[in-house]
């Protein structure tokens, strides 16, 4: 009895020691994470940075004066954080210019016209100076072109009207389901003799804003390229209804966008050198360029300032990373991905060892979690940190696509992640005139920054 008592006593002591030691290491993480969330919500700089980028600079299309102003501004702000190194990485980017505002109407009977809101798709050619006027034919996607054939398409404008699928809870899945008509619609329709294409905006909501976005002609000769524009969802609905009443409608549109020669621009990079393993690099970033219609607050001013905030939160909380933590503001994600490609090219040529990359390019909305592109083993390690995010209502940890800009860096053994904010309202603003600062909520933006800083902290302190 006495001996048993001793043994159980000993076990109890061991158990308490074990609990305390687990408790200590957990609470160190919990304390650091809480500090960063608290600071982000009270003294974070991200919202003010975004205010400047959006309201003092505005839309930052690659090759524009505004893109250069954004490079200068973010570099100066990163300099002011007192990190170890800030530099610009040169990269050649395309320079596409929209020109004067586009104009479009449809004509039900001669002289009876209804104006509709359109915008040229990024990279599109102009219409002839007098515009294009022709019969318009509606399709539900690229697949339907071959069914209609040259007979029914030649000499007409093709109207791609497949809507985003409203039943998809992940709105990015809905986007993927129809973005091919925007990206390749003009190239495909031109093979059947179409004169131009009008594409329904990638938006789940019915509203007045046309949404631009990248499109490609592949290696099609310039003489065969046809102009492409997006129409607002309201415009698409009206046009579609009118076509059902009268399939003989004429459509007119005019745009004078132009592609110039490539110009030099920059990725903006800043880093805190690792105190123990400086050769192991962690990247966190977003893209500094945006489309020209709004001010690019959600896409992707938000991701840029959140990434900058990661370094700010480390400095402010006195956290000295073991590994090198680098923020990269990539140039030209929207119409070329040249910045992401250049960063990876330089990293490979210098034989740099990147262990982790995190991108924020899904808007500045309430953070829900992350997607991870990694081995199963590394993913399981990440899952052991999930509980640390519970107090912040961040719970979505899934495998999946991480990000476009960090994509070219990807290699075996590396872990890639994307911040996943709530996506329900993202496509209301994406690439449109209403992607503006007043649609970003300060708390939501700052919570996203703290969520990113917490994951970077956990990767840095634990490694893979
Ligand atoms: Zn983006």
Q: What percent of the chain has pLDDT over 90?
A: 94
Q: Specify the higher pLDDT residue, 16 or 300.
A: 300
Query: Given pLDDT bands bounded at 50, 70 and 90, which one contains residue 13?
Result: low
So which residues are the catalytic ones?
A: 333
Cα of 31 vs centre of ligand 1, distance in Å, is 32
Query: Given pLDDT bands bounded at 50, 70 and 90, which one contains residue 2?
Result: very low
Neighbours of 141 (CB within 10 A): 15
pLDDT for residue 68 is more than 80: yes
pLDDT for residue 330 is more than 50: yes
- In this prediction, residue 11 carries a pLDDT of 54
The full DSSP string for 369-406 is EEEEES-HHHHHHHHTTGGGGGGGT--EEEE----TTT
Query: Given pLDDT bands bounded at 50, 70 and 90, which one contains residue 27?
Result: confident
pLDDT for residue 249 is more than 90: yes
What 8-state DSSP symbol labels residue 355? E
Q: Which tens digits make up the pLDDT trace of 178-199? A: 999 999 999 999 999 999 999 9
- In this prediction, residue 15 carries a pLDDT of 52
- In this prediction, residue 9 carries a pLDDT of 61
Cα of 303 vs centre of ligand 1, distance in Å, is 8
pLDDT for residue 22 is more than 80: no
pLDDT for residue 5 is more than 80: no
Q: What is the mean pLDDT of the chain?
A: 95
The full DSSP string for 396-429 is EEEE----TTTGGG--TT-EEEEEEE--TTHHHH
Mean of pLDDT values over 247-266? 97
Q: Which two tokens stand for residue 65?
A: 């004066």
- In this prediction, residue 1 carries a pLDDT of 46
- In this prediction, residue 18 carries a pLDDT of 52
Cα of 287 vs centre of ligand 1, distance in Å, is 7
Mean of pLDDT values over 434-459? 98
Q: Which tens digits make up the pLDDT trace of 371-380? A: 999 999 999 9
Q: Which tens digits make up the pLDDT trace of 272-329? A: 999 999 999 999 999 999 999 999 999 999 999 999 999 999 999 999 999 999 999 9
250 DSSP β-pair partners: 107, 135
Cα gap 114→354, rounded to integer Å: 55
Cα of 304 vs centre of ligand 1, distance in Å, is 10
pLDDT for residue 135 is more than 80: yes
- In this prediction, residue 246 carries a pLDDT of 96
- In this prediction, residue 108 carries a pLDDT of 93
Q: Which tens digits make up the pLDDT trace of 45-67? A: 999 999 999 999 999 999 999 99
Nearest CA-CA partner of 359 in 306, 314, 315: 306
Cα of 14 vs centre of ligand 1, distance in Å, is 52
Q: Which tens digits make up the pLDDT trace of 392-420? A: 999 999 999 999 999 999 998 999 999 99
Cα gap 126→144, rounded to integer Å: 25
Cα of 431 vs centre of ligand 1, distance in Å, is 9
Neighbours of 387 (CB within 10 A): 11
- In this prediction, residue 127 carries a pLDDT of 98
Cα of 67 vs centre of ligand 1, distance in Å, is 14
Query: Given pLDDT bands bounded at 50, 70 and 90, which one contains residue 143?
Result: very high
Query: Given pLDDT bands bounded at 50, 70 and 90, which one contains residue 441?
Result: very high
Query: Given pLDDT bands bounded at 50, 70 and 90, which one contains residue 17?
Result: low
Nearest CA-CA partner of 214 in 129, 302, 133, 292: 292
């Amino acid at each position: 009895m006495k001996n048993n008592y001793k043994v159980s006593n000993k076990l109890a002591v061991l158990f308490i020691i074990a609990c305390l030691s687990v408790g200590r290491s957990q609470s160190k993480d919990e304390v650091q994470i809480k500090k960063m969330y608290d600071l982000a919500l009270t003294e974070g700089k991200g919202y003010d940075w975004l205010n400047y980028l959006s309201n003092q600079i505005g839309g930052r299309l690659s090759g524009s004066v505004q893109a250069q102003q954004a490079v200068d501004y973010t570099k100066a702000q990163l300099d002011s954080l007192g990190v170890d190194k800030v530099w610009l990485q040169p990269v050649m980017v395309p320079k596409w210019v929209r020109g004067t505002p586009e104009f479009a109407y449809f004509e039900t009977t001669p002289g009876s016209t209804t104006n509709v809101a359109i915008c040229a798709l990024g990279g599109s050619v102009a219409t002839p100076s007098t515009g294009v006027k022709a019969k318009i034919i509606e399709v539900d996607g690229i697949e339907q072109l071959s069914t209609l054939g040259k007979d029914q398409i030649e000499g007409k404008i093709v109207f791609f009207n497949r809507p985003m699928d409203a039943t998809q809870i992940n709105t990015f899945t809905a986007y993927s389901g129809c973005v091919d008509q925007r990206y390749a619609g003009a190239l495909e329709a031109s093979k059947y003799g179409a004169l131009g294409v009008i594409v329904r905006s990638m938006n789940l909501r019915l509203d007045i804003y046309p949404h631009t976005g990248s499109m490609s002609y592949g290696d099609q000769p310039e003489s065969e390229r046809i102009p492409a524009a997006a129409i607002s969802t309201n415009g698409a609905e009206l046009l579609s209804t009118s076509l059902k009443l009268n399939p003989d409608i004429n459509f007119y549109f005019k745009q004078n966008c132009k592609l110039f020669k490539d110009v030099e621009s920059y990725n903006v990079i800043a880093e805190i050198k690792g105190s123990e393993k400086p050769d192991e690099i962690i990247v966190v970033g977003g893209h500094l360029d945006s489309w020209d219609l709004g001010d690019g607050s959600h896409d992707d001013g938000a991701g840029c300032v959140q990434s900058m905030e990661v370094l700010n939160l480390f400095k402010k909380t006195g956290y000295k990373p073991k590994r090198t933590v680098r923020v990269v503001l990539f140039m030209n994600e929207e119409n070329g991905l040249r910045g992401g490609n250049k960063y990876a090219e330089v990293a490979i040529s210098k034989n740099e060892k990147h262990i982790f990359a995190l991108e924020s390019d899904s808007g500045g909305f309430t953070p829900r979690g992350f997607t991870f592109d990694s081995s199963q083993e590394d993913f399981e390690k990440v899952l052991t940190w999930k509980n640390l995010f519970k107090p912040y209502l961040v719970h979505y940890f899934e495998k999946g696509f991480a990000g476009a800009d960090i994509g070219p860096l990807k290699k075996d053994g590396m872990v890639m992640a994307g911040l996943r904010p709530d996506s329900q309202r993202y496509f209301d603003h994406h690439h449109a005139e209403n992607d503006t600062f007043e649609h970003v909520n300060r708390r939501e933006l700052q919570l996203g920054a703290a969520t990113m800083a917490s994951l970077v902290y956990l990767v840095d302190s634990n490694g893979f």
